[in-house]
Amino acid sequence: MQIRASDDRSLVRAVVDGDPHAWERLARRIGDTVWTACRLLTPVEAEARDAFADVVAALRANGFGRLRSYGGNSRIETFIVLVARDILAQRLLRLFQEKDLDRAWTAFESFFKADIRRIVANRLPGPEREDMRGDAYQDICLALIAEDYRRLKAYGGAGSFSGFVLHAVDRLLIDFIRRHSPRRRLPAAIARLGPLDQAVFRYVHWERIAPQPDAILPMAAREFDPPPSSADIAQALERVAKALPDGYEPGVAGSAPVSLGDWGEALPDDGPTPEQAVLAAEETRLLTLASDALRSASEGLSDTERLYVMIALGHGQPLTARDVAHRMRRPVEEIYKLKQRVMGRLRKAIEDHPAVKQWLASV
């Protein structure tokens, strides 16, 4: 039997008004939904039961206060999923605050893994970016773990913890994309257009989004406030098409000599500035000091872990996880886990070493 939104609203109103039979009916409907969310947080049944009890207690608190915001725009099960996730995320946050970090991270990754992968897939679509999506996911996880989970512990209580995490993940992903994508320069004719036109150009010609308003609208909605309408995007597509020459193909910075024309895509000389050269030299010096300290503290590591340290940190600059994986002939995902384990053990062993402190502060 199909349940209408009006039926859900009536049921919730009855629950809020104190009808015990209505609560029993609602509890039967949402029980499996809440239990699934709890098992996502922890595979241990006893802990999941405690979490389930927390969610039920939170739903009943203040005269079913959390249910009062239900407006009937979705099925009650969908609404409860969102509410339960926020309640469970608070439970997860307490694990970090209580310093049960290994358990907290295991629960965190299980709880947010699908969300993180969804965010990554939205910004890095297409089968040709499968490896990049895997690297981005691991890079985000490492950034969240870094400095004793500093980013997660920075949550100050404003808004939901889930929303805070997903926003942080999106910002980390943007940083990852900026680091790994070739630098590009807008054609001069596009640079003379407005911000929306420039964004539409990037979506279509750099990110390979279909040149259709419906395809571009979700991307533009994340970038502009207020978001543009489909009509705005359609007009921007027309202006961009008129500005570009026939047969235009975007280039990549550094792939061609500097062009003086409107349509040259190459950037000016990409060589380091004097300031960048000084910073690079300082980074190399710090890395050398840190590598020496790490080698002296690596006696307790396994052969595989020592090999990782030698390959990853024994060069003029750190290698990417993919480069390390190639040299060690191991899967990239294993290298990320190896890095977490090695750096965690070494950090404990040499956390007071000044060279390592300086190196960690610089990366």
CATH of the domain at 54: 1.10.1740.10
Going by pLDDT thresholds of 50, 70 and 90, the confidence category of residue 230 is very high
Identify which has the larger pLDDT, 290 or 276: 290
Q: What is the pLDDT of residue 179?
A: 78
Q: How many whole angstroms from its chain centre is CA 306?
A: 30
Question: For a pLDDT cut of 90, what percent of the chain falls above it?
Answer: 15
Residues 208, 234: one domain? yes
Q: What is the pLDDT of residue 200?
A: 92
Please check the confidence at residue 101 and state whether its pLDDT lies above 60.
yes
Residues 192, 174: one domain? no
Please check the confidence at residue 361 and state whether its pLDDT lies above 60.
no
Identify which has the larger pLDDT, 328 or 353: 328
The pLDDT of 144-161, averaged and rounded, is 82
Residues 30, 103: one domain? no
Identify which has the larger pLDDT, 330 or 64: 64
Residues 67, 55: one domain? yes
| CB-based contacts of 248-257 (< 8 A; 24+ apart in sequence) | 248/187, 248/205, 250/184, 250/205, 250/206, 251/184, 252/182, 252/184, 253/182, 253/183, 253/184, 253/185, 254/182, 254/183
Q: What is the pLDDT of residue 229?
A: 93
Mean pLDDT, rounded, of the chain: 77
Tokens 């980074």 identify what position? 283
For the chain, the domain total comes to: 4
Identify which has the larger pLDDT, 202 or 286: 202
Residues 173, 188: one domain? no
Residues 350, 337: one domain? yes
Per-residue model confidence as pLDDT tens digits over 302-312: 777 777 766 66
The pLDDT of 19-41, averaged and rounded, is 89
Residues 189, 177: one domain? no
Instruction: Name the most confidently modeled range: 115-119, 252-256, 300-304.
Output: 115-119
Residues 348, 315: one domain? yes
Q: What is the pLDDT of residue 236?
A: 95
Q: Which of 59, 90, 121 is the last residue of a domain?
A: 90
Planar angle of CA 145, 148, 154, nearest 5 degrees:
85
Q: What is the pLDDT of residue 81?
A: 84
Cβ atoms of 286 and 277 closer than 8 Å? no
Residues 206, 232: one domain? yes
Dist CA 37 CA 210 (whole Å): 35
Residues 177, 188: one domain? no
Q: What is the pLDDT of residue 52?
A: 92
Please check the confidence at residue 274 and state whether its pLDDT lies above 60.
no
Beta-carbon neighbour count of residue 36 at 10 Å?
12
Going by pLDDT thresholds of 50, 70 and 90, the confidence category of residue 242 is very high
pTM of the prediction?
0.53
Peptide bond into 226 cis (omega under 30): yes
Q: What is the pLDDT of residue 264?
A: 37
Dihedral sign computed on CA atoms, order 175, 184, 218, 131: negative
Residue of 244, 221, 243 lying closest to 232 (CA atoms): 221
The CATH number of residue 175's host domain is 1.10.1740
Q: Which of 269, 285, 314 is the last residue of a domain?
A: 269
Identify which has the larger pLDDT, 168 or 209: 168
Domain span at 152: 99-182
Residues 196, 246: one domain? yes
Q: How many whole angstroms from its chain centre is CA 38?
A: 22
Q: Which of 90, 114, 133 is the last residue of a domain?
A: 90
